[in-house]
Amino acid sequence: MMGVAVGAILATMGGLLGGQIENRLNRKEREQSAALLFGEILAGLKLIIRMAVDTRGRGDPYGRVTLRIVTAALRETRVYDRNRETLFSVRDPELRARTHLLLAQMSLTIEAVLEASDTIKSADEAEAAGHDANRIAERRAAAIEERHGSFDFMVELAQELPPLIAAYEKLAGQSLEATDLAGRRGVGAIPPSTDS
């Protein structure tokens, strides 16, 4: 009878211990997966913002190409919005807070760049239609200043990306440099086929 009781106790303890180990492994796996997701989002955002800065330095600073790249940055922040609950798999509360705050600020700042561009466009259309030129000029000047300031703030916020990416690399247990390396190499033309 004593042997049966001891066996039952050991089996129960073994089951509890096995369950604890399995839970810990599952939690670690979820955290690594979340770290990889958010690290990739941040690395992609870093690359897109660098591309926007490069594009702004050529030709029309806020031309169609620059604004399309800025729109791509906004889409990247929306990937975060759609996966935000996954952030709770990251156990470090400070890292979660820094990530959320930075991406929220980034999203609002990018939206401000695009909204100011829309205001400038509508002011140009109103001016072409012959509306009150003085009022339109004031509105346009304010929007130009807002767009420039918002873009500069986006670039300033982007300086906070590398330390966050490094923290996610550590949690994911792998490098997230592939996005950055691919961006530095650029996308070249596809070489012609040598097949006959």
- In this predicted structure, what is the pLDDT of residue 4? 63
Cα→Cα distances 19→10, 115, 143, Å: 14, 52, 59
- In this predicted structure, what is the pLDDT of residue 195? 43
- In this predicted structure, what is the pLDDT of residue 196? 37
Residue 188 lies in a domain: no
Residue 5 lies in a domain: no
- In this predicted structure, what is the pLDDT of residue 65? 93
How many domains does the chain contain in total?
1
Residue 17 lies in a domain: no
Which residue ranges of the chain lie beneath pLDDT 70? 1-11, 13-26, 178-196
DSSP per position, 25-76: HHHHHHHHHHHHHHHHHHHHHHHHHHHHHHHHTSSSTTSHHHHHHHHHHHHH
Of 65, 154, 138, 162, whose CA–CA distance to 105 is shortest?
154
Residue 11 lies in a domain: no
Residue 16 lies in a domain: no
pTM, full prediction: 0.76
Residue 4 lies in a domain: no
> What domain range includes position 149?
26-178
Residue 130 lies in a domain: yes
- In this predicted structure, what is the pLDDT of residue 124? 86
Give yes or no for a contact between 31 and 87, defined as CB atoms under 8 angstroms apart: no
Residue 94 lies in a domain: yes
- Residues listed for the chain: 196
- In this predicted structure, what is the pLDDT of residue 28? 80
